[in-house]
Amino acid sequence: MSYENILVQKENGIATVTINRPKKLNALNRDTIQELHTAFSALEADAETKVIVLTGSGEKAFVAGADISEFADFSVDEGGKLAAKGQELLFDFVQNLGTPVIAAVNGFALGGGLELAMAAHFRIASDNAKMGLPEVSLGVIPGYGGTQRLPQLVGKGKAMEMIMTAGMIGAEEAKQCGLVNHVTTQEELLGLANKLATKITRNSLVAIRGAIKAVNANYEDGVNGYKVEISEFGNCFGTEDFNEGTTAFLEKRKANFPGK
């Protein structure tokens, strides 16, 4: 599959998806959102892909936001539809993937860019990264899940401050407040992402899929996360991975998970 706005590379069970509009600081236009949806759907269905790393091309930006030029003249109705469609195609979609997604934030992650990084299962950043939700400086609010996921990650007060001031925080502050897990140099960012991804590939991806569901359940309205955990825990007992994992432990060898 070839794309115009993104690159997809696969190696050793790890797929790297790079948003590739560096001249526009990788801003998310309609086509890019659609291509990301198509690529993530294909990777989720691909048995060879165990982990996805998501990053931006160039040295300046992960993603500098939704493409402002596309929605500047939208009506109330079009604005609502833009947010709904984007959340469905990309942001909720990424959060609910069974394949782990690591966002490697390599520069500006603003507006829709930070929202995309927050939809990933966890984030790492390069030390030049700058993150923020500047939407209110444009007269709009975050519309791709930012008002929900930022408080989940950094707490309500910090999220309110970031949203109301429209300010940016650096990578170290992002780490201190739980927005990213690790900070490294730009040169080492993808290496670190690959190291973490490789660790993940050694574990049971069936179990990881269940764990993602259970963790996400905590943030869904009307869903009892403990019940989802119980159900996903029980399901594991019917998998080949569970059989292999427990047998390998008892035989004092490393597990070789079939992923089923």
- Is 115 assigned a catalytic role? yes
Smaller CB separation from ligand COA, 8 or 110: 110
- Confirm or reject binding of residue 65 to ligand COA (CB under 6 A): yes
Sign for the pseudo-dihedral over CA of 81, 165, 26, 209: negative
Q: How far apart are CA 78 and CA 255, in angstroms?
A: 51
Closest CA to 59 of 106, 124, 20: 106
- Is 135 assigned a catalytic role? yes
CA dist list (Å): 161 to 23, 62, 136:
30, 22, 12
Smaller CB separation from ligand COA, 52 or 129: 129
Using CB under 6 A as the binding criterion, the count of chain residues that bind ligand COA stands at 16
Catalytic residue among 35, 135, 188, 220: 135
Q: How far apart are CA 120 and CA 205, in angstroms?
A: 17
CA angle 243, 245, 247 (to 5 degrees): 65
Sheet of 61-63: strand order equals 61-63, 108-110, 130-132, 168-170
Q: How far apart are CA 153 and CA 168, in angstroms?
A: 16
- Confirm or reject binding of residue 25 to ligand COA (CB under 6 A): yes
Smaller CB separation from ligand COA, 134 or 210: 134
Provide the mask over 79-108, with x wherever binding to ligand COA is found by CB under 6 A and - wherever it is not.
-----------------------------x
Provide the mask over 138-177, with x wherever binding to ligand COA is found by CB under 6 A and - wherever it is not.
x---------------------------------------
Smaller CB separation from ligand COA, 66 or 97: 66
| SS3 category, 128 | coil
> b/e string for 64-78 if b means 16 or more Cβ within 10 A?
bbbbeeebeeeeeee
Closest CA to 140 of 225, 232, 231, 78: 78
Residue from 67, 115, 232, 241 binding ligand COA (CB under 6 A): 67
Judged by CB under 6 A, which stretch of 60-68, 87-95, 202-210, 229-237 contacts ligand COA? 60-68
Judged by CB under 6 A, which stretch of 47-55, 59-67, 77-85, 248-256 contacts ligand COA? 59-67
Sites of contact with ligand COA (CB under 6 A): 24-25, 27, 64-69, 108, 110-112, 134-135, 138
List, by residue number, the catalytic residues.
115, 135
